[in-house]
Amino acid sequence: MEEDPSNPKAISDKTLDPVTQKKQAAMLERLSNLHQSRIQQSNSRKSDSNSSFPFESTKSYLDRFSEAKQSIQNELDRCRLVSDPESKAFLKSDLEKVSISIAELEKLVAANSYFLPSYELRSSLKTVSELKETQENLTSELLPKKKFAFKNKAAKKDQSNVVEETGIRASDSGLAERKSFQSRDSPGFRNQEGAVLVKHFGNSEEGGDFTLSDLKSCEIRVMGSLRALFIHRLCNCRVFVGPVLGSVLIEEVEGCLFMLASHQIRIHHARETDFYLRVRSRPIIEDSKAVRVAPYLLYYEGIEKDLRDSSLDEETGNWANVDDFRWLRAMQSPNWSILPETERIHTVKISNMEA
C-alpha cells in the first residue's frame, strides 16, 4: 500500500533521522496546543457575549433606539391619517398602545444611561419628550374630551381637607377652569392649596402615569409603584412618592421638598428646593438654582418589595451626581449642592402618618 505524501502522518518514520522525528513531533504538539487554545478563546468570547447586557454599547443601543423611534413615528402617522369610521373606533386603543411604546422607549434610555455619552443621552431624552408631546397633541386633536361639569353630589362628598386620588374641592371650582400641565389627562392631584393629598396603589395595582399640578402648601403622599410621574407648578409643597419605574419630570417648583425614587429624573426651573433621591441614572437639572440633593429616606409598609420590583432596591449613589445641562464648564455647577447631613430630615414613614 502506497503512502500518501500529502499527509505528514503518512510519511514513513524510516525516511527521517531521530533528531528530525523529535522536531516534527514537537512541532505537531505545538500546533495542536495552539489550535485548542484558539477554540477555547472563541468559546469564551461567545459565552461572554451571550451573558453580557445586550445593549451595553453605544452602537447597539442607538440601533435599538432608532428602530423603536421609527416604529412609534410610523404608528403616530398612521393614526393621524385614519379617516374611515371602522378604524376610528380603535383610535383610543391605538394611541394608548403608542403611549406604552413611548414609555418602553423611555425605560430603554434609563437602563442604558449610565454608559451613554452625554450628547447621546440628551438627544435620546429630547426625542422621547418630543414623541410624548406629539402623542398627547394627537390624542387631544383626534379624541377631544367632553366638557367637564360639576355635580352636586361630588361637591358635597369632598368637605374635608384630605383628597383621595384626583379630586377638586367646591371651593376650588374657579381654579378648575385652568388648563392642566400640557393638557395631560392622567390621574393625579391638581389645583389644591393647603391640603394633604393621599394616593395608595394596592398590592395588585400598579400605577400608570400620575400628575401633580398647580399645588400650593400641600403635602402629597403616594404609596406603591408608578410608571411615570409628572410634576408642574408646585410651591411650598412636601412630596413623598414610592418607586417610579420610568421617569419623573419636574417643571416650575419653588420652596419644595421632594422624596423620589426613579430610573430617570429631569428637573426644570426649580428654585430653593431639596431633593431626596434614589435614581438609576444621573439626575438632570436645567434652568434651576439653589437645588440641594440627599439620599432617599422614605418608608411605608411594603416599600422594600415595591423598590425591588422596580429595580430600585440598590443605592447607586447617583443622587449626588447631578448633571446640569445649562452648565458647560469643567467645574461643578453652582446651581446645585449636597444637602448637609445636619440639615437633612430623618426617614419619613408615611404609612403611619395621619392625614
- What confidence tens digit (pLDDT) does each residue in 192-215 have? 999 999 998 865 455 678 999 999
On the question of pLDDT at 301 being above 50, the answer is: yes
Q: What is the pTM of this model?
A: 0.52
Q: What is the pLDDT of residue 265?
A: 93
Strand segments (E) across 84-140: none
Q: Which residues contact 199 (CB under 8 A, 6 or more apart)?
A: 164, 165, 189, 207, 210, 221, 222, 223, 224
- My answer on whether 38 and 114 are in the same domain is no
Check whether residue 246 and residue 125 sit in a common domain. no
**Which pLDDT score, from 0 to 100, does residue 23 have?**
65
2 belongs to a structural domain: no
Say if residues 124 and 168 touch (Cβ distance below 8 Å).
no
pLDDT at 1: 47
Phi, psi torsion values for 32, nearest 5 degrees: -65, -45
Domain, as residue range, for 253: 152-352
Q: What average pLDDT score do residues 255-272 get?
A: 94
Q: For residue 10, is it within any domain?
A: no
The Cα–Cα gap between 129 and 77 comes to: 17
Verify that 182 and 240 share a domain, yes or no. yes
Check whether residue 249 and residue 274 sit in a common domain.
Answer: yes
Instruction: Report the pLDDT averaged over residues 150-165.
Output: 44
Same domain, 47 and 183: no
The answer on 80 and 25 residing in a single domain is: no
Do residues 249 and 288 touch, judged by C-beta distance below 8 A?
no
Of 90, 112, 142, which residue sits at a domain end? 142
For residues 174 and 192, give the distance between their C-alpha atoms in angstroms, rounded to a whole number: 11
Same structural domain, 170 and 285: yes
- The DSSP H or E segment spanning 36 is helix 18-51
Sign of CA dihedral 152, 158, 164, 169: positive
User: Which amino acid would we find at residue 219?
Assistant: E
Cell of 203: 398590592
3 in any annotated domain: no
Q: Beta-strand (E) ranges in the chain?
A: 162-164, 188-193, 196-200, 209-216, 219-223, 228-235, 238-254, 257-279, 284-286, 289-295, 298-299, 323-324, 336-338, 348-349
**Of 142, 169, 192, which residue is a domain's last?**
142
Residue that finishes a domain, picked among 74, 109, 142: 142
Mean pLDDT of 70-84: 86
- 177 assigned to some structural domain: yes
Amino acid identity of residue 192, one-letter, is Q
Question: According to the model, what pLDDT value does residue 32 have?
Answer: 66
Q: Percent of the chain beyond pLDDT 70?
A: 68
Q: Look at residue 42 and tell me if it is in a domain.
A: yes
Q: What is the pLDDT of residue 270?
A: 95
Q: Which residues contact 131 (CB under 8 A, 6 or more apart)?
A: 69, 72, 73, 76, 102, 105
Q: What is the CATH number of the domain that holds 124?
A: 1.20.58.1250
- Over 50: is that where the pLDDT of 46 sits? no
pLDDT recorded at residue 126: 85
Residue 7: inside a domain: no
Q: What is the pLDDT of residues 21-30, one digit of tens each?
A: 666 677 667 6
pLDDT of residue 162: 46
Do 136 and 160 lie in one domain? The reply is no
The winner for highest mean pLDDT among 89-98, 147-156, 321-330 is 89-98
User: Mean pLDDT across the stretch 221-236?
Assistant: 92
Please give the pLDDT value at position 40.
62
The owner of cell 410621574 is 229
Please compute the mean of the pLDDT values over residues 66-72 and round it to a whole number.
Answer: 92
Q: Do 303 and 275 fall into the same domain? A: yes
Confidence of residue 140 (pLDDT cuts 50, 70, 90): confident
Domain assignment of residue 178, yes or no: yes
Per-residue confidence (pLDDT) for residue 78, from 0 to 100: 87
Mean pLDDT of 4-15: 47
Question: 242 and 258 in contact (C-beta within 8 Å)?
Answer: no
Confidence category of residue 129, pLDDT binned at 50, 70, 90: confident
40 and 68 fall within a common domain? no
- Count of all residues that appear for the chain in the document: 355
Q: Is residue 271 part of a domain?
A: yes
Q: Which of 249, 187, 245, 238 is nearest to 216 (CA)?
A: 238
Question: Both 135 and 253 in a single domain?
Answer: no
| One domain, residues 74 and 218 | no
Say whether pLDDT at 80 is over 50.
yes
Q: Can you give the pLDDT at residue 184?
A: 54
CATH of the domain at 181: 2.160.20.70
Q: What is the mean pLDDT of residues 348-352?
A: 79
Average pLDDT, the chain: 77
Instruction: Provide the pLDDT for residue 84.
Output: 73
- The pLDDT value recorded for residue 125 is 83
Count of structural domains within the chain: 3
pLDDT of residue 261: 95
Over 50: is that where the pLDDT of 173 sits? no
